[in-house]
A = this chain, B = another copy of it.
Amino acid sequence: MAQSKSFAAVRIPCELCPLRARETFRDFDSTELGFVSSFKIAELLLEPGTTIIDEGQRHPQLYTALAGWGFRYKILEDGRRQVLNYVLPGDLIGLQGNLMSEMLHSVEALTKMTLCVFERERLTALFQNHPSLAYDLTWIASREESILDEHLLSVGRRTALERAAYLLAFLDHRAQATGVFPEEGPKVLPLTQQHVADTLGLSLVHTNKTLRRLSDAGVVRWLDRGSEVLERGKLFDIAGWQPSVEGMRPFI
């Protein structure tokens, strides 16, 4: 497992942030922009498999994902792992560490990632001087919460097939909305079946068989280490789920 974190030679200034250009994300006014610009202390480039945050450790930094995929998870003592959610561009990493001294979950990069690095300490200044950003932070936290609600509903009450369909629909939709997919070429969700299993609360073998049913129905295609959604509508039908229409969302 690659543990190397390298600081980028070139650091994208927030003024030129590629995310901000996308219509999904709300704009900053110049004051906010100034603060966030100074809030950002570095940029991290990560290889797939890198651990970003380790459960049980103190972690003085916060991150915003700029590019790439990651995932949050927890493990039990005997190694059973539960994936809690996925990290996409615009997502804040490590917010809940602020209260408890130690992090209560881990985060790992799924693909190459770029992260903006912030100093946790400076959150106080953010709350003091930038109410609108403070509001955004709360907004972000409560959005993550509602995603977890839906996941919990899924793992607790949906069947294996529904769960799988929901997960792929959910990820495909989020990926689309945040614009992680390449302009050209297949829009692939970069997960192994082990990740899917650990997200759905199923065994690897059963996950494989469930995904196969989706493949056979022509709804998705499984690639080398990832999958591609072919029939969005059918997935929604199977899952019994629709993405809720979101307007612009904030990000720090």
**Interface presence of A76 (CB below 8 A):** yes
Cα(A156)–Cα(B203), bound, Å: 10
Asked whether A144 lies within 8 Å of B146 as measured between CB atoms, the reply is no
Binds B, one of A15-23, A97-105, A184-192, A205-213: A97-105
Asked whether A142 lies within 8 Å of B98 as measured between CB atoms, the reply is yes
The one of B76, B146, B148, B246 that contacts A157, using a Cβ cutoff of 8 Å:
B76
Q: What chain B residues lie within 8 Å of A151 (beta carbons)?
A: 152
Binds B, one of A5-13, A108-116, A127-135, A223-231: A127-135
Interface string of A137-158 (1 = CB under 8 A from B): 1110111111011111101111
Cα(A237)–Cα(B125), bound, Å: 42
A interface, CB within 8 angstroms of B: 72, 74, 76-77, 80-82, 84, 95-100, 104-105, 123-124, 127-128, 131-132, 134-135, 137-139, 141-146, 148-153, 155-158, 198-201, 240, 244, 246
Asked whether B142 lies within 8 Å of A81 as measured between CB atoms, the reply is no
Asked whether B148 lies within 8 Å of A149 as measured between CB atoms, the reply is yes
Q: What chain B residues lie within 8 Å of A153 (beta carbons)?
A: 74, 76, 82, 84
The main secondary structure of chain A at its interface with chain B is: helix
Q: What chain B residues lie within 8 Å of A74 (beta carbons)?
A: 149-150, 153
Q: Which residue of B lies closest to A77 (CB)?
A: B240
Distance of A155 from chain B, by nearest CB (Å): 5
- Residue of A76, A80, A152 with most partner-chain B CB within 10 A: A152
Top-7 shortest CB links A-B: A156-B201, A141-B141, A96-B142, A148-B148, A127-B131, A96-B145, A82-B153
- Residue of A82, A104, A135, A156 with most partner-chain B CB within 10 A: A156
